[in-house]
Amino acid sequence: MGEQGWDPEIKKYFLKILYTISYGLLWLMSTATAGIYFELGWPGERPLYAVILFYVVAATAFILLLRYYYRIWK
């Protein structure tokens, strides 16, 4: 069958939507897993520098994700 009747611009638009949702969910799930499951989101048994490093890495990854979004939707 293939892509009969699909406009190439529509396919590019849907791929942008797919990439936006999938990379956003990937960032969200990995941050939530590290923060909640591995208990990096709050100080407890782990040293404070590990918690600070977790938040720095999460914020940096979020900024890079926003930069990626800007580039694909530009």
pLDDT of residue 71: 98
Tell whether 40 is covered by a domain: yes
CA distance 48 to 41: 10
CB 61 within 8 A of CB 68: no
Tell whether 2 is covered by a domain: no
Residue 53 belongs to domain spanning: 9-73
Report if pTM > 0.75. Answer: yes
pLDDT of residue 4: 73
What string of pLDDT tens digits covers the 74 residues of the chain?
A: 556 778 989 999 999 999 999 999 999 999 999 999 999 999 998 999 999 999 999 999 999 999 999 999 99
Tell whether 56 is covered by a domain: yes
Tell whether 4 is covered by a domain: no
Tell whether 57 is covered by a domain: yes
Tell whether 59 is covered by a domain: yes
Tell whether 42 is covered by a domain: yes
State the total domains in the chain: 1
pLDDT of residue 69: 98
Residue 54's CB: how many other CB atoms inside 10 A? 19
Tell whether 41 is covered by a domain: yes
